[in-house]
């Protein structure tokens, strides 16, 4: 028998298999690209986290609460990523955190004064300041009737739109036109707008605006007044007509291209007027606050409903100081007909512009939250007229709701060839609007057909006029 140790080698004694070769390391550019992508992902994640925290904290502490939380989260992530590295390499994960911190801190730093900077005085009229019984201190403008021609004894009061916006130079020119035709014209900028003093944010409500109108008429102390309410001013006037105590102060009412009068109307789906210049007009020139990260985030989030008007990110005064006419370029273009896209006039001098986005949103929200005023409006007895623009950017059902529920509307005037800003200084627009207004106030035949009528509302809406 042979010795097992001298037999043929077995599988157990086979020579070892050589190890597989290690994969070649990735080229240096590929590794660098991967690290850059990872760093970019970290920066993006931290920025998104910061913006989410801005919304969740409502911008508390000028955004510093969100910034410090984001910085803490980024620091913790960097420490975790560098835990197994040598000391100098541990600093590398902090670079994306530093970049993210530098990018987001710009949202926390004001670039305009945080105290209210009021617009410069107008060269052609002196702004008075009246303290109303409601506590509002408003800027008041008076255009006495011209010495020539017929003087109309009933004072004329103008309520501008916005709702919390200064009266533009274009509007002032139209008011001067009415004064030259013998009307004693008075206008005031609603609390928080233009040269009027600010209110605490919680006091901006549609009911406060109506009370301010009543208090203004009382302060004027000239008896009943004729009132022209344009856009948001038309909403104030409509709700005043639904309040017997305020309506008793009104002689005649002209509601021009109004917004929604109450919550149910605001939630009504509908269409707008004929094509406007939005998207067709050249971009307005001049600086924009929305090119600054702080205000781009603040105004963008407020418009999206991610920040409340009371947000701690920017104060009310800072927000007004920051907004510029160029910021409202698209909204301005939507107030003109498409055919006027390349000749939209300058509505205001830059130093005279004033618009409070936060206060306006606050008032609009109180309208959306309000119950229907239709039952009260049906009892209105103040003679009224409704004006509708052909290219209006307003939802048609906002105007037709007023017509449907106010039995005291004596005539409706559909103005062709103009957008939401019916007295815009183009061609004869001001003269045509003035003719419609003065004919109603003097109880003369209307220069335009009575259209749409209350019975013709379904056809008017169906025809998308």
In order along its 465 residues, the chain shows pLDDT tens digits of: 444 444 444 444 556 666 656 565 556 676 567 768 878 898 999 999 999 999 999 999 999 999 999 999 999 988 888 777 777 767 778 888 999 999 999 999 999 999 999 998 999 999 999 999 999 999 999 999 998 778 899 999 999 999 999 999 999 999 999 999 999 999 999 999 999 999 999 999 999 999 999 999 999 999 999 999 999 999 999 999 999 999 999 999 999 999 999 999 999 989 999 999 999 999 888 888 989 999 999 999 999 999 999 999 999 999 999 999 889 888 899 999 999 999 999 888 767 889 999 999 999 999 999 999 999 999 999 999 999 999 999 999 999 999 999 999 999 999 999 999 999 999 999 999 999 999 999 999 999 999 999 999 999 999 888
Tokens of 426: 């183009």
Write down the pLDDT at residue 22: 59
- Asked whether the bond before 163 is cis by omega within 30 degrees of 0, the reply is yes
Q: What share of the chain is helix, strand, coil (3-state, %, to 5)?
A: 45, 10, 45
- The model's pTM is 0.89
CA nearest neighbour of 139 among 120, 155, 156, 153: 120
Alpha carbons 188 and 196: distance in angstroms, whole number: 8
| Residues sharing a CB contact under 8 Å with residue 278, sequence separation 6 or more, in sequence order | 330, 333, 334, 393
| Residues in a beta bridge with 189 | 139
Architecture of the CATH domain 128-284+335-462: 3-Layer(aba) Sandwich (3.40)
Query: SS3 for 452?
Result: coil
Tokens of 9: 């080698």
- CA angle centred on 66, ends 61 and 68, rounded to 5°: 95
CA–CA–CA angle 329, 335, 341 (5° rounding): 70
Bond before 452 cis per omega within 30 degrees: yes
| Tokens standing for residue 94 | 């902090």
Q: So what's the pLDDT on residue 6?
A: 47
Phi-psi region of 456 (alpha: psi -120 to 50; beta: other; left: phi over 0): alpha
Sign of CA dihedral 163, 164, 170, 172: positive
Tokens representing residue 228 in the block: 């022209």
Q: What is d(CA 179, CA 146) in angstroms, rounded to the nearest whole number?
A: 6
pLDDT, position 159: 98
Residue-wise DSSP of 233-285: HHHHHHHHHTSHHHHTTEEEEEEES----SHHHHT-----SS-BSTTTSPPPP
Close Cβ partners of 245 (under 8 Å, ≥ 6 residues apart): 214
Sign of CA dihedral 253, 403, 363, 168: negative
Task: Supply φ then ψ for residue 209, to 5 degrees.
Answer: -60, -40
User: Domain spans of the chain?
Assistant: 30-108, 128-284+335-462
- Which single residue is written with the structure tokens 């005291």? 408
- Residue 42: exposure state from Cβ atoms within 10 A (0-12, 13-18, ≥19): buried
């Amino acid at each position: 028998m042979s010795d097992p140790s001298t037999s043929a080698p077995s599988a157990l004694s086979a020579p070892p298999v050589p190890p597989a070769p290690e994969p070649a390391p990735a080229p240096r550019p590929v590794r660098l690209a991967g690290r850059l992508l990872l760093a970019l992902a970290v920066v993006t994640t931290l920025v998104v986290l910061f913006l989410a925290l801005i919304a969740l904290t409502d911008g508390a502490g000028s955004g510093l609460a969100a910034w410090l939380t984001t910085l803490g989260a980024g620091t913790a992530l960097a420490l975790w990523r560098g835990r197994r590295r040598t000391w100098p390499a541990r600093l590398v994960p902090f670079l994306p955190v530093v970049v993210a911190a530098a990018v987001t801190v710009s949202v926390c730093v004001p670039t305009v004064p945080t105290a209210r900077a009021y617009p410069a005085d107008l060269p052609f009229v002196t702004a008075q300041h009246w303290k109303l019984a409601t506590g509002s201190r408003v800027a008041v403008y008076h255009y006495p009737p011209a010495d020539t021609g017929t003087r109309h004894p009933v004072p004329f009061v103008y309520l501008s739109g916005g709702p919390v916006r200064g009266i533009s130079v274009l509007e002032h020119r139209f008011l001067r036109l009415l004064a030259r035709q013998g009307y004693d014209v008075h206008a005031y900028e609603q609390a928080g707008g233009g040269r009027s003093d600010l209110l605490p944010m919680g006091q901006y409500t549609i009911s406060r605006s109506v009370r301010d109108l009543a208090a203004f008429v009382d302060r004027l102390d000239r008896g009943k007044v004729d009132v022209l309410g344009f856009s948001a001013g038309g909403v104030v006037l409509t709700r005043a007509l639904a309040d017997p105590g305020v309506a008793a102060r009104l002689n005649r009412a002209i509601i021009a291209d109004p917004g929604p009068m109450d919550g149910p109307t605001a939630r009504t789906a509908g269409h707008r007027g004929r094509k406007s210049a939005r998207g067709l007009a050249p971009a307005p020139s001049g600086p924009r606050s929305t090119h600054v990260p702080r205000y781009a985030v603040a105004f963008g989030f407020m418009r999206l409903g991610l920040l409340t008007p009371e947000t701690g990110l920017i104060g009310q005064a800072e927000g007004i100081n920051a907004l510029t006419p160029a910021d409202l370029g698209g909204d301005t273009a939507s107030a003109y007909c498409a055919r006027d896209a390349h000749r939209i006039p300058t509505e205001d001098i830059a130093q005279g512009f004033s618009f409070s986005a936060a206060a306006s949103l606050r008032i609009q929200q109180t309208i959306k939250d309000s119950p229907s005023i239709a039952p009260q409006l049906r009892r209105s007895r103040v003679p009224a007229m409704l004006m509708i623009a052909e290219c209006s950017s307003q939802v048609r059902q906002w105007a037709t709701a007023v017509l449907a529920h106010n039995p005291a509307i004596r005539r409706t005037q559909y103005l062709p060839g103009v957008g939401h800003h019916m007295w815009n200084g183009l061609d004869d627009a001001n003269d045509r609007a003035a003719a419609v207004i003065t004919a109603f106030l003097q109880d003369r035949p209307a220069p335009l057909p009575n259209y749409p009528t209350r019975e013709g509302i379904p056809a008017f809406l169906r025809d998308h006029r």
